[in-house]
Structure 1
Amino acid sequence: MPRLHEYIQSTSNISSILLDIDNRYKMFWSNEQFCRFNMFNRHFFNPTSKLSFKKFLKSAEHPRNIVVVVDPPFGGLVDCVCESLKWISRFAFSLFGQNSTQLLTTLWLFPYFMEKRIKNQLQLTMLDYRVDYENHRKFKEAKHGRYMSPVRIFTNIKNKTVRLPSPDYSYRFCELCQRFVAKDNLHCKLCNDCPSKDGRTYRHCNICQICVKPGRKHCKTCDRCQPPLHSCNPHTSDGCHSCGEATHKRKDCPLLLNHQKTEVSLKKNKLLKFKSRKRKSFFSNP
C-alpha cells in the first residue's frame, strides 16, 4: 500500500491517507498523509493520527466517495481485518450523520484460498485478477498456473463493472458470468460458472457435482476429489486430523496428548541430568 499511496500522492488529483503500523513512514509523509495504525485492533498510536484520519474522511463530503484499499499480512487473522473494515465504515458513516452497517467501497488483497473465510463475514466477491509483487520472492509474475501468485482482490464493487486488461493480456470477458476472468478459466455449463481460482482450467466431477483442480481424481474412500498420492481419511474434515476419529478434534486427541506428555517427561529428565552434572562438576573442583 505505501507504493500505491506514493503513486496517488505524486500523480493523481485524488487525495489519500496511509494507515500503517510501521513508524518509519512518518519520515516521508506528514501527519495529514500518514497515520500510525494497527489494523488488527483498530488502535491509533497517538490522538493526532485519529484526528487526521477523521479530517480526511470528512473531506470526502460523502461516504460513497471513499475507497478503502487493504493489503494486510497474509498470516493475519481474517476476523480482525473484517472487524476493522466494519469499524472504519461505521466511523465514516457516523461522521456524516448516518447510522449504517453498509461497508464502504472496499478492495482487499488476499490469497484466493481464504475466500470462504472472508465471505462468511463480509459481502465481498473475488475478482479473477492475479496480483503480482515485484519485491516478493514467490508472488512474482509467472506464466504457469500453479506457480502464479495466489493473491486476488476481494471487493464489493460489481464484478461486471471492473474491467481487467484484455484481450492482449491474460483475461477475457465471460458473457455468461458477466465478469472478467482469466483466459484459462473456462466456463462450466454444469456449474454455470467460471470456477477456476488459481488460473488453471478446472474439470467437472460428475460425482462431486463441482469443478475441481486439474490432476485431482475422485476417491471413493474420501468421497471427494483428491490428489493422486494422498492418504485416505474420510473423517478428516469432521473429526481429528491426527488419528482420523470423528469423535474428537485434534487438540483433544489421546495420541497427541500422550505424545506431548512423553516430550515433557523427556525434557524434565534431560534437565535433571543436566543439573546433576553441574552439581558433580562443582563439587569435584578443588
Structure 2
Amino acid sequence: MKKDPKNFQKICLISKNGFDINKVPCWPCLLYSRQTQKKNSNRQFYACSTFRDRKLCRTFHWKDEFEKKMKNDNFQDKMIFLNAIQAEQNEIQLKMDKNVQNLRKKENASLASFMFNRETVEFISDSILSMGYNGVICIGTPTVYYEGLEKYPDVDFIFMDIDENKNPELHGKTAKNPFIQYNVFNNHFYKSSDKEIIQNFIKKHKKMAIFIDPPFGGLIEPWTWSINNFLEDHRKLHKSKNRLHLYAFLPYFLKRWLSKFQQVNMMDYRVTYEKNRFNRFHKNSAVRIMTNANLKLFKCSQPEYRICEICKIVVHKNNIHCKSCGKCVIIHNEKRQHCSKCSRCVNSLNAFTHCDNCNACVNKTHNCGKSEMGCKNCKKGECEMRRDCPTKRRKIKMAKCVSKE
C-alpha cells in the first residue's frame, strides 16, 4: 500500500499491559497507531514487529478493516484461517517469495551480522564475563557467545536470534544448549518448546546476565518489554539480591529513551564493530554499554581507558570529572562547561549561554520564548517525521524543477 505523505505524519506503538498482537500468516505483529493530519485523529493498524521496510515484510492490516472482515466471514472460514496460521508458525518458515528472501540475505540491515571487533570482545570477556556469572543469555551477540564458550567452559551460554541462519550448528559449532530462534520485539518463540528451555535456564542459574545488541532503528519499547519478562521471571524464581544483569549495546543518544523503561547506567566504553557496508560505528563509535549493574565493578586494561579517582569507574582517557556535577561529564569528544544556574554541564562548542528569560542554557542566536524543538525545515513542532514535512517536500519539488530547466 502506497503511503500518502499529505495525510500521515506520526506513527506510534499501542500498548495495553503488554502486547496487542494479531496472528497473521507472516508472524505475530504489533499494533501501531498512525496519526492523520487530515482528520486530526488516529488510525490503528497491524504491521511487522521487526521489519519496517515493506519490501522485506508486506504484512499490513488496518485494524478496523481486518476486524470487520473477520466478523463477516462465517465460523468455518475463521477456523480454517486460524488453523492455517498455527500450522505455518509451527513450521518456522515465513511464506514469502524467493526474491524477498534473497533481498533479506543480501541487502537487509535488520538481519545483517554486526560483529564486535577484537578490542570490544576482549573487554567484555575480561571485565564482564569474569564477574562470576553461571548463566548468560546472548540475544543477537554471536561474538560474545563464541568468546564465552571458548574462555569460560564452566558457564552456561545460550544463543538467541531471529535469523535461523546464525544457528551455530550450521557453522560446525557444538554447544551444551540449543540455538533458539526468537523475536525480541514481540517476545515470540518460533518453537513452543524453546520457551520452556529458557524458563528452565533461568530457574537453574541464580547469577545471570543478558547481552543484547538490538537494531538501532527499531523501537526500544517493544524489546524492553521482552527483557522485562526475563527480569521478572528471574526475580520471582530467585528471591535474592543477585538480580539478572542487563547489558544493552546502544548509541549514547538513545539512553534517555531506554531509561524510560529500564533503570540503567551508561558505561563510558566505546563499543566498536568490524567494518562492513551496513555499519558506521567502526571508527569514533557512538555506541555504549547500558547496564543495570554497578559501574564500579568493571575494570579495563586498555590504554585508552582509565579509572576515575573520584568516581572509581572506567572512563575514557579524555573524560573530565566535574566537581559540581559530581561525575565525569564528557560523553562523546565534546567540550563541556558547568553552568551554576542550570546546575549541569553544557556543550561549550555550540556557543551555549544561560538565558535568564528562558531559564536554560541555549544558543546565543536563539529567540527568547520560542521553542527550538521540532522540525528543522518548517520550525514547527507538529512535524515529528521530517520526511513528511510539507516545507521539505516543496523544497525538493522546486529543486527538481530547476534541474529540469
TM superposition score normalised by structure 2:
0.52
Change (3 A) 1:31 1:73: farther
Counterpart of 2:226 in structure 1 is 84
CA distance in 2, matches of 1:43, 1:108: 19
| Range 173-182 or range 153-162, more displaced | 173-182
CA distance in 2, matches of 1:75, 1:55: 32
Structure 1: which 5+ runs fail to align? 142-147, 267-286
CA distance in 2, matches of 1:189, 1:16: 41
- Match of 1:130, SS state, is strand
Aligned length: 243
CA distance in 1, matches of 2:186, 2:243: 18
CA distance in 2, matches of 1:151, 1:258: 33
Give RMSD over aligned pairs: 3.5
Do the aligned partners of 2:270 and 2:288 also contact (CA within 8 Å) in 1? yes
Counterpart of 1:203 in structure 2 is 337
CA distance in 1, matches of 2:238, 2:342: 49
Aligned equivalent of 1:48, options 166, 184, 193: 193
Do the aligned partners of 2:208 and 2:243 also contact (CA within 8 Å) in 1? no
Matched, 1:126 2:266: yes
Letter in structure 2 aligned against 1:50: K
CA distance in 2, matches of 1:177, 1:11: 30
Displacement, 1:132? 0.8
Counterpart of 1:39 in structure 2 is 184
Q: Which has the higher relative contact order, 1 or 2, with Cα contacts under 8 A spaced 6 or more apart?
A: 2
- Match of 1:16, SS state, is strand
Displacement, 1:192? 2.2
CA distance in 2, matches of 1:76, 1:90: 23
Do the aligned partners of 1:133 and 1:139 also contact (CA within 8 Å) in 2? yes
Displacement, 1:33? 3.0
Cα shift readout 1:227-246 (whole Å, capped 9, x = no counterpart): x9x88683133x6665445x
Identity of aligned residues (%): 27
Change (3 A) 1:8 1:31: closer
Counterpart of 1:68 in structure 2 is 210
Displacement, 1:50? 1.8
Cα shift readout 1:114-150 (whole Å, capped 9, x = no counterpart): 1111122211101111111123442224xxxxxx101
Do the aligned partners of 2:266 and 2:288 also contact (CA within 8 Å) in 1? yes
- Match of 1:106, SS state, is strand
Matched, 1:250 2:250: no
Do the aligned partners of 2:346 and 2:361 also contact (CA within 8 Å) in 1? no
Larger radius of gyration: 1
Do the aligned partners of 2:187 and 2:223 also contact (CA within 8 Å) in 1? no
Letter in structure 2 aligned against 1:55: N
Counterpart of 1:58 in structure 2 is 203
Do the aligned partners of 2:248 and 2:291 also contact (CA within 8 Å) in 1? yes
Counterpart of 2:57 in structure 1 is none
Displacement, 1:84? 1.4
Counterpart of 1:281 in structure 2 is none
- Match of 1:74, SS state, is coil
CA distance in 2, matches of 1:31, 1:158: 30
Letter in structure 1 aligned against 2:231: S
Do the aligned partners of 1:128 and 1:197 also contact (CA within 8 Å) in 2? yes
Change (3 A) 1:104 1:231: same
Do the aligned partners of 2:306 and 2:316 also contact (CA within 8 Å) in 1? yes
Counterpart of 2:80 in structure 1 is none
CA distance in 2, matches of 1:158, 1:259: 45
Aligned equivalent of 1:135, options 257, 266, 275: 275
Structure 2: which 5+ runs fail to align? 1-140, 398-405
